[in-house]
Amino acid sequence: MLHANIVPYREQDHDALVEIWRRAVIHTHTFLTTEDIQFYDEIVRSGALREVEIWVERYKEIPIGFIGLNGTKIEMLFVAPDFHGKGVGTRLFHHVKQLKGEKLQVDVNEQNEGAYLFYKKLGFVQVRRSELDPSGRAHPLLHLEL
C-alpha cells in the first residue's frame, strides 16, 4: 500500500498535473484522436486546472493523481498510469466525498468503460446521457450521480 498524502493544489504542481492528465488520457481514452488530445491538452494547459478546486495525491512529494471539483461535481480525476489500480483514484474520491458529502456528480465519456465501471463500483448511477461533450465534440457523455 502506498503511503501518500492528499493536499490542496499548488501552482508549482501545474505542469506535473498537466503531464499526469496527458499520460492518463493517452492510456485510458483510446477513442480520442491525436487531434482531440491536442485540443483538450490546450484547454487543460491554459488554465482548466485553475478554474476548479483541485486536490492532489502526492507520493514522496511527487504528484501521482488529482481530482478537480466545481462545487459537488467532479470535473476531472486523473491518475498517473504507473499508479493505476493502486487505490489513488478511490482515495481521492473518498477525500472529496468526506469534504462535500453524498451529493456528488460526475460525467464520464461513454466510450471510457473503465471510468464508468470505476464510478459504478463507488455507487454512482447514470441519470442522463448527452450526445456531445461540453466542447461540442461527438464524444457522448454519461451523467452520473452518487
Dihedral sign of CA atoms 63, 68, 72, 75 in order: negative
Q: What digits encode the pLDDT tens for the residues 35-84? A: 989 999 998 989 888 899 999 999 988 999 999 999 999 999 999 999 99
Q: What digits encode the pLDDT tens for the residues 15-40? A: 999 999 999 999 989 888 899 899 99
pLDDT band at 2 (very low <50, low <70, confident <90, very high): low
Nearest to 124 by CA among 111, 109, 105, 141: 105
Report how far residue 76's alpha carbon sits from residue 108's, in angstroms, rounded to the nearest whole number: 9
Residue 24: is it exposed, middle or buried by C-beta count within 10 angstroms (0-12/13-18/19+)?
A: buried
pLDDT at 48: 87
Nine cell digits for residue 117: 465501471
Nearest to 56 by CA among 131, 116, 110, 6: 6
Q: What are the chain's domains?
A: 5-145 (3.40.630.30)
Report how far residue 80's alpha carbon sits from residue 84's, in angstroms, rounded to the nearest whole number: 7
pLDDT at 112: 92
Does the model's pTM come out above 0.75?
A: yes
Neighbours of 20 (CB within 10 A): 21
Neighbours of 124 (CB within 10 A): 21
Nine cell digits for residue 77: 480525476
